[in-house]
Amino acid sequence: MTKDIDVLILGAGINGAGLFRDLCEQGLTCLIADKADFGSGTSAAPSRLIHGGIKYLETGELRLVAQSTLERNLLLRNAPHLVEPLPTVIPIFSWLQGIPAALRTLFGSTTAPRNRGAVLIKIGLALYDFYGSRHRVMPRHALWSRRRTLSEIAPMTPKIVAAGTYYDAKVTCPERLVLELLQDGTAANPASEALNYTNMISAENDLIGLRTPDGGERTVRPRIVVNAAGPWIDHVNQALGSPTRLIGGTKGSHILLDHPELIAALKGRMIYFEANDGRICLVYDYLGRALVGSTDIRADDPDTVCCDDEEIDYFLKSLRDLLPGLAFSRDQIVYAYSGIRPLPASGSTAAGLISRDHSAPVLEPADDRPYPVISLVGGKWTTFRGFAEEVCDLVLGRLGHNRRLNTRALPIGGGRDYPTEPAARANWIEYTAKATGASAMRTTELLGRYGTTARAILAHEGPQAQRLTDTKSYSLSEIDWIARYEKVVELEDIVMRRSTLAITGRLSERDLAAIADIAAEALGWSAERRNVQFAKTRDLLAARHRIQWEKSHP
């Protein structure tokens, strides 16, 4: 049976999910499909920052900085359960260096600036504050003296002359934000659907065939197709019969360290620093682990990308140079990940100078393809809502519809009715704890993890919920909720994307086995499928993410 729909979105990363929600809110019937899990590609491999892109000031992308800082401020309001402020420190090693190089970059140089001095950074931070003034929710920048910097961050190299400080933001679980956007979309328009592990198997005339994870086949007749496949965009357009060369991606890798001394020294701050080769790196406290990133290397195979030994050596050397008062080694690594940024094809000699701005080129209908194809190229994680708004307006115009809702002030998922003021928060926790029988401590923990959705999860959990043996912050009932109500298909969905169990390196093999048992019961898996899922996930985490099972611990 063929289903007529307004829009088919291929790819359920952050850009596709943001557009899906916006279109559904406008009353359009949409189907979004991803060949893997929601948010499992590039959207699962960012630095987990929600930031305005201060470094894009150097390349003159002022519109992008303005949009990014606005969207950062909006996300702090609309998704307060997942996005929170992040104080940031920039170590400065000179007073005047970098100004000529920055000017050359503004006028088209393809060489990345190096040795950014205090004057240049002061100008940049002032501009950053200016562009971030709309809906401001965080303090302005400041400059620290060398003495204060070394007092605040004792292991810092004494080679610095000063430090700049400002605020950006971080997202605790970007994959959950993707999921919640999709859930919001289907709630706004129940006729719309979000499908994971669904492959496009045919594209003939006005019909597109899909195969779902249960082996079933679906046929849809879309009026418009949106290609939101990220680094796979050119592959998808090829399958649609319209070859393109739109993507010229770069690889970004990260590692997470079990390093209590570093976490203590950071005091909740991010250090955003220049490595010896001029490349920008960062390190900050992510859920009790030190997240270190990121590389920027030309690459084009998103299916096999992983963090390699050379990148790890680079990270560790950069940290040793910056923080000589601390020791760093491979033994501290608890997780590693990598992804391909779906940047526009570019001949730039410096990968770091390829624009992070977005575009939406349109392939107009052809003789054997009656629908247009809109490709979502480039973009930053932070700007997904603004990008979605632009493309949604394009789609609405082509379909003859008017926008009926602006998403600028629209809460996301568990951010709806989130108690941001201390008194409201205390009342919410007290009421929910009393209604569900949970302790105030557990209620607070799940409010921070799921936002106001925590109330339903706590009711499902009950007051005496059994915890996982090693990762005691998660309960068996909480895992059961995820398996039953959050479109889980594979075991890896639970531990890598619906939760932060894997990325923090706190997932033990024993807990993975327990989670496999819960998923099997909730999803009706046979014993054989449960065992296959367990082995597949265990091996994936070891091979591509460097988890050493014998060393995994809470």
Q: If DSSP codes are grouped into helix, strand and coil, which group holds residue 143?
A: strand
DSSP state of 190: T
Among 285, 347, 282, 339, CA closest to 315: 282
- In single-letter form, the type of residue at position 526 comes to S
Q: Strands 2-10, 217-227: parallel, antiparallel or unpaired by DSSP?
A: parallel
CA–CA distance, 455 with 428 (Å, rounded to integer): 9
DSSP state of 466: P
Q: How would residue 135 be classed by pLDDT, with cut points 50, 70 and 90? A: low
Cβ-contact 138, 85 below 8 angstroms: yes
Phi, psi of 119 (to 5 degrees): -65, -45
CA–CA distance, 342 with 44 (Å, rounded to integer): 13
- Which residues are paired to 209 by β-bridges? 202, 219
CA 61 to chain centre: 22
Q: If DSSP codes are grouped into helix, strand and coil, which group holds residue 74?
A: helix
Q: Which two tokens stand for residue 425?
A: 């928060």
Q: If DSSP codes are grouped into helix, strand and coil, which group holds residue 440?
A: helix
Residue 502's contacts (CB-CB under 8 Å, 6 or more residues apart) are: 335, 495, 496, 541, 545, 547
Q: Which two tokens stand for residue 194?
A: 């979000």
CA–CA distance, 101 with 106 (Å, rounded to integer): 9
CA–CA distance, 251 with 318 (Å, rounded to integer): 18
Radius of gyration of the chain (CA): 23
Query: From residue 542, how far is each of 30, 71, 294, 446, 548 by CA, in Å?
Result: 37, 36, 21, 28, 6
Cβ-contact 498, 509 below 8 angstroms: no
Q: Strands 250-257, 297-298: parallel, antiparallel or unpaired by DSSP?
A: antiparallel
Phi, psi of 250 (to 5 degrees): -125, 150
Q: Is the dihedral of CA 541, 545, 546, 549 positive or negative?
A: negative
Phi, psi of 330 (to 5 degrees): -65, -30
Cβ-contact 197, 212 below 8 angstroms: yes
Q: Percent of the chain at pLDDT above 70?
A: 93
104 or 270: which carries more pLDDT confidence? 270
Which runs of consecutive H residues, i.e. helices, occur in 79-173? Answer: 99-106, 118-131, 146-152
Q: Is the peptide bond before 294 cis (omega within 30 degrees of 0)?
A: yes
Tokens 């104080």 correspond to what residue?
Answer: 87
CA–CA distance, 171 with 153 (Å, rounded to integer): 23
pLDDT of residue 356: 62
In the 3-class helix/strand/coil scheme, how is 474-532 assigned residue by residue?
CEHHHHHHHHHHCCCCCHHHHHHHHCCCCCCCCCCHHHHHHHHHHHHHHHCCCHHHHHH
**Cβ atoms within 10 A of the Cβ of 129, count?**
18
pLDDT of residue 106: 52
pLDDT of residue 348: 56
Cβ-contact 20, 39 below 8 angstroms: no
pLDDT tens track for 164-222: 999 999 999 999 999 999 999 999 999 999 999 999 999 999 999 999 999 999 999 99
Among 495, 513, 515, 503, CA closest to 546: 503
Q: How would residue 301 be classed by pLDDT, with cut points 50, 70 and 90? A: confident
Q: Is the dihedral of CA 312, 315, 316, 317 positive or negative?
A: positive
pLDDT tens track for 104-131: 555 555 555 556 678 888 888 888 888 7
- Which residues are paired to 220 by β-bridges? 3, 208
Cβ-contact 539, 548 below 8 angstroms: no
| Average pLDDT for 23-31 | 98
pLDDT of residue 105: 55
- Which residues are paired to 174 by β-bridges? none
pLDDT tens track for 484-514: 999 999 999 999 999 999 999 999 999 999 9
Cβ-contact 74, 443 below 8 angstroms: no
Above 70 in pLDDT, residue 96? no
pLDDT tens track for 348-374: 555 555 666 778 999 999 988 999 999
pLDDT of residue 346: 66
Q: Is the dihedral of CA 268, 274, 275, 276 positive or negative?
A: negative
pLDDT of residue 54: 82
Q: If DSSP codes are grouped into helix, strand and coil, which group holds residue 544?
A: helix
Q: Strands 2-10, 30-33: parallel, antiparallel or unpaired by DSSP?
A: parallel
Establish how many alpha carbons lie within 13 A of residue 184's alpha carbon, considering only the half-sphere containing its beta carbon: 26
pLDDT of residue 330: 96
Phi, psi of 366 (to 5 degrees): -125, 175
pLDDT tens track for 467-479: 999 999 999 999 9
